Amino acid sequence: MSQPAWADSDLKAVRLRTEYKINPVTDVANPRLSWELTSAVRGQVQTAYQIVVASSVQQLAATKADLWDSGKVMGNATNQVEYKGVPLASRMICYWKVRSWDKNGQPGAWSSPATWEMGLLSKADWKADWIGNDLTALGKGKTYHLPPAPFFRKEAILKPAIKRARLYVTALGLYEFYINEKRIGKDYFTPGWTDYNKRVYYQTYDVTADLKPGKNALGAILADGWYAGYLGYALLVGNPVVRGFYGDVPLLKAQLEVEYANGGKEVITTNQGWKTNHGPIVEADILNGETYNATLEFPGWNKPGFTDSAWKTAAVYPDKADRDVDVYPGDPIRVFQELKAKTVTPKPGGKYLFDLGQNFAGIVRLRVTGNKGDTIRLRYGEVLFPNGDIMTENLRKARATDTYVLKGDKQGETWVPRFTYHGFQYVEVSGFRMPPAKDAITGIVLTSATPEAGSFTTDNKLVNQLYHNIVWTQRSNYFDVPTDCPQRDERLGWTGDAQTYVQSATFNNDIAAFYTKWLVDLNDAQRADKAYPIYAPAPNVRKTDTYSPGWSEAGIICPYTIYKTYNDTRVIRAFWPNMVAYLDFMARKTNGDVIYKEASFEDISPKGGFGDWLSVGKKTPPDMLATLYYGYVTAMMAEMATAIGKSTEAAAYEANVNKIRQAFLAHYADETGKFKTNAAAYGDGEGYVDGKMGFDGHTQTAYANAIYMHMLNAGQTAKAGNWLVDLIEANNGKLSTGFLGVKPLLPALSATGHSNEAYKLLLSTDYPSWGFEVVNGANTIWERWNSYVKGKGFENNAGMNSFNHYAFGSVNEWLFENAAGIKVGKPGYRTFIIRPEIAGTGINAVDATYHSINGPIKTAWKKTGKMTALTVTVPANTKATVFIPVTHSGEILESNKPLESGSSIRMIERSNGYQSVEVGSGTYQFTSQ
């Protein structure tokens, strides 16, 4: 396969990205560039690269780098390479390409060109005013205060020969923007949720093709959104504030910049020259739904020539000087897929029930024909009662109802709400005159458009369904922020859920941009005492909401995971002072004890924090978990300090980890290594989550976390693994873990040589287990192990019973890292480990792919009779340590030849049922008897 020496290399740079995105708009001053490498040559590496950046396609084609020529840079870097050329100004478009030299020092071809465009880099670039229309007084309702959505319009006369046009647009609230009737962009819920007191994001759209010389009409609709609408459970808990957490009146800021062929420029901005009115969108609220009265439409409002004399002048609102206006760094919310109704069932009272076949987050498209004034009401539910009625109790105070009033168009009417979303599979519709066709309702799946990154299939249907459920639950909850659930009056960026699931999430989708955004939310939400909050963004939806061990650590665990997964040291640098301040806070909370003894967190509500939320049986002491987490994140701080060259800090954190480990064992373990607690310190448990169940240190959750977090030495780890197995056996072979115990459970079993026990739990269908949800009909991950039981019904609907809650889906980490066996080595998977765990029974084949920032990794294993086959694909410029399972003592073949060291394979050792080898890039087919 090696190339003749005279030929150029086949090494090719593909998938060029800037700040994690393909041809984006960014306001990062020195954007980071990345590419992936392809080559048909085994063991291929990049020995050098060259990047060229130019201000025009022509100059780039001629390799005239007027912005930056990196020159030939030695080394294997292919990602997080910072632009270091001439300083970039607002609005510039940068064209770039890259080429790489291979292991023989031969250059590959130049890549295809890619671009990025600079946004508005300074606040002074913004000439637009915030405009609004205060309709709060019109929002009077009995339970809900829901004002109508204001419309805005303005006409602009443009000259001929428009060369380039950009729309920069944002809102405090949610916006939709139109030019000459056309909706601009495909994004939903723009500009996204932030702490609007500190920052708001804007979108940039290339609207060159949407404008024409002469009269153009600009239009916008605003809704309350996260800014002014209802949030979380504020209404449910009787919080003094239930809506309008950031402001009452949604505002718009837009700037249309037009460049003519002759070099002339024109800027049209929101200001008091805009007209406003309210009309068909009578109510629009994320949690409570949208009401659209089509009889109140203003036909042609967003077309030139519309008579707006009845519209009033928009009001200009002052800017907040210290509020940043930044380019949206995340992935926008987009339509993922449409779902056709599977069935339509008539129900009493002229209602019809549509089943869309999958629980998801999104909206519907309604098609209806009827008379003017006919009213269609849509209610949404995730599941049905045994009698076939839609179950909505679990939505709690989220009204989640959309209403459409017909204008009476004989051709039929189509409506899609745009400022609300629901978590549902079923839609109950009332108000049809005639029995509806199946396409009267179409599901529209919305999600943050995180690129797909992984796949996982086995020969076991139950496990495949579980994986399907995990993927759909992530899709439903990665919705601008990582939410707990998409349906009830909550939908908050719960930090505990986020931290426990983040590693799992990386395997399904590329979450780098999504988390780049949310980590800003999380750090913007750091409290005055420096603790990270329980949800971010953090409008206090309950006065007593503070912080919680197991939740707050998201402030360290999430950046760490992004660093490891994407080789991203910028997140470490950006949030380093915040993370240090948080650890200082945690250090103060030890009261000089190094660790947290029982009842250390009586000052928060609930006492001790949320602990092992929704576990079964006796509670693991929250202080013990807080201690384990403290050690765990301190170790992460040490590693991150090293990554950014802070060796003194690294040594200090490392030393503290050791102290925490020792103090943990001294306090929470007896001389045999068995975990214990002083349960008496919790009194009768009053004020603690499930405190009445009593506390015990000897739990599955305790051992699983201690092992997973490397808080024990080798001997103690082995013992802890045995205790863990004993506890599972004593519990009739079942798990008992909650939010904090479930993620480490299977990894801890695997780490201590109990892979078969891990598989047993994975394949169990008894309560509580993942399989129990599947056999009870789940197509998403449930909040509770027994959210619904066939023949028995629901568990605690009115309290908390979400059917789309990703926390228990954190088993995904084990599916990829252990069942398929893909584990990160050097950050960004520059090196990685393939060590699949072969199941004793139940599963005979696993096939997984993971598209890392260094390219696609594949692993597939299959057992047939005595033979185990393992196929592995290692991307160019990476190295893997592969553990080839040797079930029997026979020979190992690679692509049908005896396995031996060669140019891209190096034998390491045979132990514990594996032959380990180090391999360079390429595809390898190993078989062993």
Interacting residues toward ligand BGC by CB under 6 A: 484-485, 490, 494, 496-497, 610, 613, 800, 807
Please identify which residue in the block is written with the tokens 């057992």.
863
Least separation, in Å, of the C-beta of 844 and ligand BGC?
A: 35
Tokens matching residue 77: 């870097």
Q: Which is nearer to ligand BGC, 102 or 484 (CB)?
A: 484
Q: Which is nearer to ligand BGC, 494 or 703 (CB)?
A: 494
d(CA 633, CA 653) in angstroms, rounded, equals: 10
Least separation, in Å, of the C-beta of 509 and ligand BGC?
A: 20
Q: Which is nearer to ligand BGC, 444 or 800 (CB)?
A: 800
Q: Which is nearer to ligand BGC, 274 or 424 (CB)?
A: 424
> Are the C-beta atoms of 189 and 331 separated by less than 8 Å?
no
| Sign of the C-alpha dihedral computed for residues 407, 408, 414 and 416 taken in this order | positive
d(CA 759, CA 863) in angstroms, rounded, equals: 15
Least separation, in Å, of the C-beta of 483 and ligand BGC?
A: 9
d(CA 506, CA 450) in angstroms, rounded, equals: 10
Q: Which of 36, 176, 428, 490 is catalytic?
A: 490
The count of other CB atoms within 10 Å of the CB of residue 442 is: 19
882's enclosing H/E stretch is: strand 879-885
Residue 82 neighbours by CB under 8 Å, 6+ apart: 30, 31, 32, 33
d(CA 764, CA 911) in angstroms, rounded, equals: 30
Q: Is 914 helix (H, G, I), strand (E, B) or coil?
A: strand
DSSP 877: T
d(CA 334, CA 207) in angstroms, rounded, equals: 19
Which amino acid belongs to residue 351? K
Least separation, in Å, of the C-beta of 174 and ligand BGC?
A: 23
Q: Is 647 helix (H, G, I), strand (E, B) or coil?
A: helix
Least separation, in Å, of the C-beta of 807 and ligand BGC?
A: 6
Q: Which of 19, 783, 837, 894 is catalytic?
A: 783
Radius of gyration of the chain from its Cα atoms, rounded to whole angstroms: 29
Least separation, in Å, of the C-beta of 488 and ligand BGC?
A: 8
Q: Which is nearer to ligand BGC, 226 or 563 (CB)?
A: 226
d(CA 405, CA 375) in angstroms, rounded, equals: 4
Peptide bond into 827 cis (omega under 30): no
Least separation, in Å, of the C-beta of 691 and ligand BGC?
A: 14
Q: Which is nearer to ligand BGC, 654 or 795 (CB)?
A: 795
The count of other CB atoms within 10 Å of the CB of residue 123 is: 11
**Would residue 490 show up in a list of annotated catalytic residues for this protein?**
yes
Q: Which is nearer to ligand BGC, 484 or 817 (CB)?
A: 484
Q: Which is nearer to ligand BGC, 362 or 423 (CB)?
A: 423
Tokens matching residue 114: 């890619």
> Are the C-beta atoms of 855 and 875 separated by less than 8 Å?
yes
**Would residue 671 show up in a list of annotated catalytic residues for this protein?**
no
Q: Is 726 helix (H, G, I), strand (E, B) or coil?
A: helix
Cross-strand bridge partners of residue 822: 834
d(CA 246, CA 323) in angstroms, rounded, equals: 12
- Between strands 114-118 and 25-26, the pairing is parallel
Least separation, in Å, of the C-beta of 534 and ligand BGC?
A: 6
Q: Which is nearer to ligand BGC, 458 or 499 (CB)?
A: 499
d(CA 382, CA 388) in angstroms, rounded, equals: 12
Return the closest-CA partner of residue 785 out of 795, 581, 923. Answer: 795
Q: Which is nearer to ligand BGC, 167 or 361 (CB)?
A: 361
d(CA 743, CA 324) in angstroms, rounded, equals: 37
d(CA 921, CA 923) in angstroms, rounded, equals: 7
Least separation, in Å, of the C-beta of 464 and ligand BGC?
A: 26
Least separation, in Å, of the C-beta of 203 and ligand BGC?
A: 30
Q: Which residues are catalytic?
A: 490, 783
